[in-house]
Amino acid sequence: MGFYDNYNFDGLKLLAKIKDRPENYCSEPCEEFLNVIKHLKTNRRNVSVAEIGIGFGATALQVLNLLDSDDIYYGFDFADNLNDFAHDLQARDFGITCEIFLATNTDKMFDSYNWNLSNMIFQMRERNEAGLFDAAYLDGAHTFLHDGLAVCLLKELVKDGGFLLLDDIFWTLESDQWGRGYGFGKMTDEQMSDYQILRVRKLFLDNDPNFEALTPPDSWRAIFRKCVAK
């Protein structure tokens, strides 16, 4: 039984893909991210969360339902995806009350959410703020090239005491049809078969004393908590 079996997304542009491709792993919400948000919401108002890579909107829709009018959801993805998502939220009343900020990027070869994340850091520093997100969920390109940098940027964007989640730690490009097409001719055989998100986790989080791992090392999804500065 899929999470969205009883939903009707007829006439929608992005969310309809959940029904079109029920077997796709993007068609189910990320429970770990939802649990982190539920935890934040038990004793907090003004919760600010980020999802880097929204897929078909399966997680995003549930996140938006958990947030209230004092809260902000930041979604990062290609413009086509986010424009379709914005269309769906206009077209159907899902009872969403929180503020939504959609940060689009182009599909040019080297463009990604990292450009928007870096601009947000500059703005944050100008305002003398230390952190923007109470929780950030990285589920984007799944390459060392994009997500090594994304983690470095997100480590600054996550507030003290906030959460950073990485998905698909043991995913490889060669294991998946989309991944094989994406990496073909651009990556070495070693890179095609490497766990690129594990590489990112090991390099930038496992040895960082400011981040505590809340999940065991063999978890498919990793959750880290940023320590509170003394």
Binding residues vs ligand SAM (CB under 6 A): 26, 30, 51, 53-55, 58-59, 77-78, 81, 105, 112-113, 139-141, 146
Q: Whats the size of the chain, residue-wise? A: 230
Nearest-approach distance from CB 48 to ligand SAM, in angstroms = 17
Helices of type H across the chain: 16-20, 31-43, 58-66, 79-91, 113-126, 144-157, 177-183, 189-193, 196-204
Nearest-approach distance from CB 228 to ligand SAM, in angstroms = 27
Question: Which residue type, as a one-letter code, is found at position 90?
Answer: Q
CA distance 222 to 214: 8
User: In terms of CB distance, is 208 or 221 closer to ligand SAM?
Assistant: 221
User: In terms of CB distance, is 92 or 208 closer to ligand SAM?
Assistant: 92
Nearest-approach distance from CB 123 to ligand SAM, in angstroms = 19
User: In terms of CB distance, is 100 or 210 closer to ligand SAM?
Assistant: 100
Nearest-approach distance from CB 130 to ligand SAM, in angstroms = 26
Nearest-approach distance from CB 217 to ligand SAM, in angstroms = 22
User: In terms of CB distance, is 40 or 50 closer to ligand SAM?
Assistant: 50
User: In terms of CB distance, is 48 or 59 closer to ligand SAM?
Assistant: 59
- End-to-end CA distance of the chain, in Å? 46
| Residues facing 163 on adjacent strands | 135, 225
CB 10 within 8 A of CB 100: no
Question: Which residue type, as a one-letter code, is found at position 39?
Answer: H
Element (H, E) at 150: helix 144-157
